[in-house]
Amino acid sequence: MRFAPTRIPDVVVVEPDVLGDDRGFFMETWHERAFGEAGIEARFVQDNYTKSSGGVLRGMHYQVQQPQGKLIRVVVGEAFDVAVDLRKTSPTFGQWIGQTLSAANRRSIWIPPGFAHGFFVTAESAEIVYRCTDYYVPEHERTLLWNDYDVAIEWPSFGPGQPVLSTKDTEGDLLKDADVYA
Tell me whether residue 130 is one of the annotated catalytic residues. Answer: yes
- Looking at 31, 49, 117, 130, which residue is catalytic? 130
CA pair distance 42, 158, nearest whole angstrom: 34
List, in order, residues 6 or more apart from 150 with CB less than 8 Å away. Answer: 94, 174, 175, 176
Contact 80, 119 (CB under 8 A): yes
Query: Is 156 strand, coil or helix?
Result: coil
List, in order, residues 6 or more apart from 62 with CB less than 8 Å away. Answer: 68, 86, 115, 116, 117, 141, 142, 143, 144
- Looking at 31, 49, 61, 149, which residue is catalytic? 61
Residue 81 C-alpha from the chain's centroid? 5
Positions marked active-site:
61, 130
